[in-house]
Structure 1
Amino acid sequence: MDVVRRGGRSRLAVLGAVAVLALGPALAGCSDDGGSKSGNSTTPSAPSTGTTAQPPGGAAQPDDPAAARAEITRNWTAFFDPKTTTSEKTGLLENGEQMAPVLAAFAGDKNAAATAAKVKNIDFTSPDGANVTYDLLVHGNPALPDAKGTSVLQEGTWKVSVKTLCGLVELSGVTVPGC
């Protein structure tokens, strides 16, 4: 049963979405191989009122911003899609090989099958970094609307940043090795 608070947000739905990513006991067993943290990343947060400023002349964008936006949207959608295999998700996550145990833990969770993401906005911060605004959906409904994350260009692929994934996990109060 959801309890709706003022502003239309459901606290239980938000906590449920975050719990999908928490999996405390499964994640606590993951080894820490010194995984890196990306300096190009942000933690999911409530909606902001400002926008990311671009330097004059568009120097903060990749050579083909439209193609990069399309790839970021496609990769974020696939990363959060429960039908995407763990192996595929590893390739869509920054330093995915280091985070494979975390992704494997999510694959076995029944709640993960109800979670998806919808990219709403992409603002480039550099030719290889972007701020991403997205809705985290549970059963198709926004549970964490206007969340903030980042995408990084790594090995020629636009990927969900480790910091974004770890930020979602940390919202639940769980500490995950490698985050």
Structure 2
Amino acid sequence: MVLRRRAAALAATAVLLLTPALAACSDDEPATGDRVTSTAPPGATDRPSGAAEPADPAAAEAEIARNWAAFFDADTPAAERVKLLENGEEMRDVLTAFAGNPQAAAIAAKVTGVAFTSATGADVTYDLLVGGNPLLPDSRGTSVLQDDTWKVSVKTLCGLVKLSGVTVEGC
């Protein structure tokens, strides 16, 4: 019973955190990529056999983990978050609203796996944490290499926004 209440509280927190971002979304461009799956079965991989990788996969994986942690860190300034999101300038209003929400201070992300789909794309498995506790463990998203930086994809951000149950123009 306690676990059920805790899960409901965490889900409500996610909705509260994402709702301000929904109101600010003004991107008229369609999101890149396909739909986001929020979880995957244990041990599953979408990596095609023989997929290309970046020249230095270990360095790219470390950068992805570092950038995802920074993107979801409340202490990261909005201007820096823009640089860590694919097409970040177009999503600036969403990021500003998200960063301005006091409840966003409790959100964090921890990358638990990276599978490169090309030299410029990767499937990312991560835990979305609230107050250090898993809210969405084993979540799935994507990262893209844009402007020589591995970034959280718009597809991933829009997938999280859609989890709140609201449709947003541009996502």
Q: Which among 63, 67, 72 is matched to residue 75 of structure 1?
A: 67
Say what the alpha-carbon RMSD is for the aligned residues: 2.1
- Residue identity matched to 1:159: K
Q: Does 1:64 align with 2:63?
A: no
Q: Counterpart of 1:31?
A: 26
Give, in angstroms, the shift of residue 81 of structure 1. Answer: 0.3
Q: Counterpart of 1:14?
A: 11
What does the per-residue CA deviation read over 1:107-141, in whole Å, with 9 as the maximum and x for residues that have no partner? Answer: 11011001100110000011100000000000011
Superposition TM-score, scaled by structure 1 size? 0.86
1:42–1:124 distance in 2 versus 1, CA, 3 Å: farther
1:95–1:173 distance in 2 versus 1, CA, 3 Å: same
Give, in angstroms, the shift of residue 15 of structure 1. Answer: 3.5
Instruction: Give the alignment of 1:120-131 within 5 angstroms.
Output: 120-131=112-123
Q: Counterpart of 1:43?
A: 36
Higher helix share: 2
Superposition TM-score, scaled by structure 2 size? 0.90
| Structure 1 unaligned blocks of 5 or more | none
2: distance between equivalents of 1:126 and 1:75?
18
SS in 2 for 1:10: helix
The number of residues matched between the two structures is 170
Give, in angstroms, the shift of residue 42 of structure 1. Answer: 4.8
2: distance between equivalents of 1:9 and 1:61?
40
What does the per-residue CA deviation read over 1:52-95, in whole Å, with 9 as the maximum and x for residues that have no partner? Answer: 23423xx4211110010011001000000000000000000000
Q: Does 1:155 align with 2:147?
A: yes
Q: Does 1:53 align with 2:50?
A: no
Q: Which runs of 4+ in 1 moved over 4 A?
A: none
Identity %: 59
